[in-house]
Amino acid sequence: MAEVLNSPLFNKELNVAIEYTLATRSRADFIVYGIDEFGHENVVVIELKQWSAVERSRKQDYIFTNGGDGLRDYWHPSIQAYNYIHLLKLFNEYVRDKHIELNACSFLHNMDEGFAEILRNEVDFPIVSKAPTYLKEDADLLREFIHRHVQKPCKSLLYRIDNGRISPSPELAKMLENALKGSPFFSYDQNQSEAVATIVEKAKEAIEENKRATIIIRGGPGTGKSIVAINALGQIVNSTKPKSNCHLNAVYVTQNMAPRNFYKATLHGGDFKVKDIVNFFKSPVLFYEAPEMEYDCVLVDEAHRVYSSKFDRYRPMRSGINLLEQIIRASVVNVFFIDEDQAVTKDDYATADRIKELAKKYHSPVIEGKELTLTSQFRCVGGASYIEWVKGLLGYPDHVPFQESFKDYDVEVLSSPSQLKEAIFEKNKAFPSSRLIAGYTHKWKSWASFKEGVPFDETPYDFEYSDGFKMRWNKGMKMVPNDYSYLDDPDSINQIGCIHTIQGLDLQYAGVIIGKDLSYREGKVTYIKKNNVDNGSAKINRCDDEVAEKLIRNTYNVLLTRGMRGTYIYCEDDALNAYIKSLLK
């Protein structure tokens, strides 16, 4: 790059950055930034590769070459560069608010022109029309591209971007709709892109050869499992079967109805018909009578929540039916997005080992590995450090508590439930989708009264504290229509969300009430299963102590990682409240 920039075209004070770290800890190889001829502030992101030869790949958005990890598929470098500017737009408030112009390209300085047919193929890689690929003989073209966007230095620009507040862009609805239309996928990181490409490739391959496949995608809270699932769904349903004009049939499955209803509500009113939307999103219970290999691909989000068997809303399933087995049996390709640290009830059945065991029964080869493990943190703008802080607080194995201050993420411990309520209600004015949520330590009295015919607003309060705080649990599924979406109901701010309602959803701010199933005694966090109330689903207080501790820990792990912008906490145990405060610098 020194040779490229050593030109009379450029100001000698031109500003550059090398290996610039983005919000997701991805690193952009080379950045040139400054002002264009019209006075606009610009950033040019350049992905550099030393490759000297490439081949086509079966994976969408990938090429095959000998890179840093040996001979394998790698992301097309222009897609990688474009993804970096996409990240800046999605997560950096300063870039969005000030309309900083972002540009991307790639430079393969050892690559001969003979490979241009592969690398610049706009059918395979449409993005190269926006993020061009420059090869060994293209130094002059690269200079012109940079000069078009950056002519004068602006030393403070990167400093201002670097200090811009990290916050997610409110673009989910449009991204979701585009994903289901099969539009080009712009992921948050290469792991997600790799996962989508693998799912789509294996689905097409399996259908072509009429062979099964089972794919396991691992990832913690906020690592983008749902993003991968929805994008893979869009790519698959917009593909056709070999020697046929028929589209592949694929469905997105979750045990929890809240994400399904949220996606349905998000897509409603767009280009999709209601019937199409309903057909995309399914509950696992619908598989108990599904014929063998009925679906080309089934994508199971929150797979750790799949029960072995279950009553649905209207009728009991036949005894002995294993839902996890039925999903594998009914699909050619099945994809499981799993995080065993988010299993929260006694009935949560699916584990990676059980999936593998059942896949073996149906002669379905299992595909998993490091490249299919999602690690970057995208929900909480506190990033990976906040997730690690929560894990340490809750006492997960191999995690220790530590003090932390969070620059862009808002974490507070409140002294009373009324203070917590006031703070979240205030945040909800500026950031709708802020909610109060809690673990299972309060009986569902409102539901019991509702069943007896009492209107919801007249039912007893489930939460009552001495400071005057009074609230009910959220409405249960038999109290609302099938398509009810908790986050789209403005009145749900007046209800406390339970684990089953909010798992899989993103809140702007989460106000977490930690009940007395979690306390602080003799210098450590203690789990007390007898204080966990059985509201008919979790059954934690019926488990042995080891399982109960795991489920209580997982419950608060989920609750404490829902907030994108911040998490406010109130603990019923005073000692725990003081302890968590001590962990915040």
Residues 491-548 pLDDT 10s: 999 999 998 888 878 899 999 999 999 999 999 999 998 998 865 555 787 788 888 8
Assess whether pLDDT exceeds 50 at residue 218.
Answer: yes
**pLDDT at res. 115:** 97
Task: Give the rounded distance of the alpha carbon of 520 from its chain centre.
Answer: 31
The predicted pLDDT at position 315 comes to 42
**What residues have CB less than 8 Å from 176, skipping those under 6 apart?**
230, 263, 266, 267
- Under 8 Å CB-to-CB from 209, ≥6 apart: which residues? none
Give residue 457's pLDDT: 92
CB 209 within 8 A of CB 296: no
pLDDT digits (tens, 9 = 90+) for 220-262: 877 888 888 888 888 888 887 776 777 788 899 988 776 677 7
> At 134, which amino acid appears?
Y
Instruction: Check whether 312 has a pLDDT greater than 50.
Output: no
Residues 6 or more apart whose CB falls under 8 angstroms from that of 151 comprise: 11, 34, 35, 36, 37
Tell me the H-state helices in 29-130.
77-91, 93-97, 116-119
Q: How confident is the model at residue 311 (pLDDT cuts 50, 70, 90)?
A: very low
Give the CA dihedral 158, 175, 79, 366, nearest 10 degrees.
Answer: 130
Q: How far apart are CA 379 and CA 225, in angstroms?
A: 11
Give the pair of three-digit tokens for residue 458: 């007249």
By DSSP bridging, strand 366-367 and strand 495-496 are unpaired
- Residue among 174, 103, 115, 95 nearest 142 (CA): 103
CB 85 within 8 A of CB 146: no
Please tell me the distance from the alpha carbon of residue 405 to that of residue 540, in angstroms, as a whole number.
33
Q: Is 144 exposed, middle or buried (0-12, 13-18, 19+ CB in 10 A)?
A: exposed
pLDDT of residue 282: 85
Structure tokens at 565: 């912008």
Q: What number of other Cβ atoms are within 10 A of residue 460's Cβ?
A: 14
| Beta-carbon contacts of residue 41 (< 8 Å; ≥ 6 apart) | 33, 34, 35, 98, 100, 101, 154, 157
What type of residue sits at position 577? N
Which uninterrupted H or E stretch holds 32? strand 27-35
Tell me the per-residue pLDDT of 501-517, one tens digit each, with 9 for 90 and over.
888 788 999 999 999 99
E strand spans, 211-320: 213-219, 250-253, 281-282, 295-300
Rounded Cα gap, residues 120 and 124, in angstroms: 8
176 versus 475: the higher-pLDDT residue is: 475
Q: Are 73 and 59 in contact, with CB atoms under 8 Å apart?
A: yes
C-alpha–C-alpha distance, residues 220 and 378, integer Å: 11
317 vs 110, residue with greater confidence: 110
What whole-number distance in Å separates Cα of residue 524 and Cα of residue 527? 10
Q: Which of 171-180, 258-267, 357-366, 545-554 has the lowest mean pLDDT?
A: 171-180
Stronger pLDDT, 381 or 185, i.e. the higher one:
381
Asked whether residue 584 carries a pLDDT value surpassing 50, the answer given is yes
* Mean pLDDT to the nearest integer, 137-162: 95
User: Which DSSP helix (H) or strand (E) runs through 556?
Assistant: helix 545-559
Asked whether this chain's domains 172-374 and 383-582 adopt the same fold, the reply is: yes
Q: Quick one: pLDDT at residue 314?
A: 36
For residues 241 and 233, give the distance between their C-alpha atoms in angstroms, rounded to a whole number.
Answer: 15
Q: Which fold has domain 383-582?
A: Rossmann fold (3.40.50)
Range 396-420 average pLDDT: 90
Between CA 337 and CA 302 the distance in angstroms is 6
CATH of segment(s) 172-374: 3.40.50
Neighbours of 69 (CB within 10 A): 9
Q: Give CA–CA dist 254/134, Å, rounded.
A: 43
- Give percent of the chain with pLDDT exceeding 70: 88
Average pLDDT over residues 399-413: 88
Q: What is the mean pLDDT of the chain?
A: 87
**What pLDDT sits at residue 101?**
96
Q: Give 46-67 pLDDT, tens digit per residue.
A: 999 999 999 999 888 899 999 9
Query: Phi and psi (nearest 5°) for 500?
Result: -70, -25
Please determine, for residue 191, whether its predicted confidence score (pLDDT) is greater than 70: yes
How many Cβ atoms sit within 10 Å of the Cβ of residue 275?
7
pTM: 0.72
Question: What is d(CA 329, CA 314) in angstroms, rounded to the nearest whole number?
Answer: 24
Domain ranges of the chain: 2-162, 172-374, 383-582
* SS3 of residue 294 by DSSP: coil
